[in-house]
Amino acid sequence: MAIGIKDVAARAGVSTATVSHVLNGNRPTRPTTRQRVLQAANALGYAQNQAARNLAVGRSSLFGLVISDIRNPFFPEISAAFQDQALLHDMDAVVLNTNYDDHRMLNSVKRLIGLQVAGVAVLTSEIDPAVTALLEEREIAAVYLDLGKVDRLVANISIDYEHGIAEALEYLGQLGHRRIAYIGGPPHLLSARRRKQAFLDSMRATGLEAGHAIDADFGVKGGYFACSKLLAASTESVPTAIVAANDLTAIGVLHRAHDGNLRVPEDLSVIGFDDILMAEFTQPALTTVAVPRSEIGRTAFQALWSMLGEPGGEPGAAGREFRLGTRLIKRQSALPPRTPPEERDASDQS
């Protein structure tokens, strides 16, 4: 069943070396030979045995992609973009979920090492230092998300929350808002800390009056209750705009604001992040700071790819820092009107 390089060689009347070289384009071959080989390979339906190839080359055509959980809508787009790039370069990706578990994360990386992956992208929110250490020791190219470091075999992607939030605040300013509150995420998450800091810095920079900043849980419920607190303040300190650290939080805010039995500023404006992508669907009225998911995936691949040297040759480029911008998506965010459905169409499956 297994059709090997020998079969192709035999059929083409050449040596296996030639077949190999034709297939990998590693050295010039006479066009006629080339033809014969290609034809033979095709006729036999030959598929290169990657296992053997990898063994010989010492590295596989696999990249590892470690994410928190593919069920979290934040990741599918990243993963898809990563794989699309991989396909373009004739590589494949093994995507592993850590389920937010450090131990499982380390294990995943060990598995990947066993698979002889050519590189690993770790795009989870928190990264176990043991992982970076392991990858470094094994001299495997790696790219991380919002990890500070960069090295010969370590690239880093960071999201420009600072600019994104500044943009959002500017927008609110144009709308006439002056008292702006913030609802953050769990302080133990790096992204939550960075977003909050960006908000505070940006407020200071623009000279706007910082309302309260409350930490919540990145969930709908957290946003809901945080909003209660904010709106229950004495009249002159009730914010007229709220920036929420992610979209679920923002959805919670909107829910609360329209539940009634609460004094809500006429023109309350809410801004969220489009982290989990449902925002647009569930709350077509929510203005969001869009995180460039596809770009993250694409960039992660490129980062790894660029660090890859020739199998036994030059070392490839050094890792570097990639900074990705956000996009402010403006939708009226005061009252979620009940409108006819958007022309969106996310369907077709099963």
Partner DNA sequence: GTGAAAGCGCTAACAT
Partner DNA sequence: ATGTTAGCGCTTTCAC
Would you tell me which residues interact with DNA (CB under 7 A)? 2, 4-6, 13-21, 23-24, 26-30, 32-34, 48-49, 52-53, 55-58, 311-312
Q: Which is nearer to DNA, 48 or 282 (CB)?
A: 48
CB of 99 to DNA, least distance (A): 28
20 binds, among DNA, a second copy, none (CB under 5 to 8 A by kind): DNA
Q: Which is nearer to DNA, 13 or 176 (CB)?
A: 13
Q: What are phi and psi of 215, to 5 degrees?
A: -90, 135
Q: Which is nearer to a second copy, 258 or 323 (CB)?
A: 258
CB of 71 to DNA, least distance (A): 33
236 binds, among DNA, a second copy, none (CB under 5 to 8 A by kind): none
CB of 93 to a second copy, least distance (A): 7
CB of 244 to a second copy, least distance (A): 11
218 binds, among a second copy, DNA, none (CB under 5 to 8 A by kind): a second copy
312 binds, among DNA, a second copy, none (CB under 5 to 8 A by kind): DNA
Q: Is 329 exposed, middle or buried (0-12, 13-18, 19+ CB in 10 A)?
A: middle
18 binds, among DNA, a second copy, none (CB under 5 to 8 A by kind): DNA
Q: Which is nearer to DNA, 56 or 232 (CB)?
A: 56
284 binds, among a second copy, DNA, none (CB under 5 to 8 A by kind): none
Q: Which is nearer to a second copy, 263 or 338 (CB)?
A: 338
CA atoms within 13 A on the CB side of 329: 19
Is residue 121 a contact partner of residue 65, using CB atoms and an 8 Å limit?
A: yes
Nearest to 241 by CA among 333, 119, 336: 333
CB of 58 to DNA, least distance (A): 6
Is residue 108 a contact partner of residue 78, using CB atoms and an 8 Å limit?
A: no
CA atoms within 13 A on the CB side of 6: 1
Q: Alpha helix locations (H) across 232-331? A: 247-257, 278-282, 293-307
Q: Which residues pair with 159 in a beta bridge?
A: 324
Question: How far is residue 209's CA from residue 240's CA, in Å, rounded to a whole number?
Answer: 11
Give the contacts of 254 (CB within 8 A, at least 6 positions apart): 270, 283, 285, 286, 333, 336
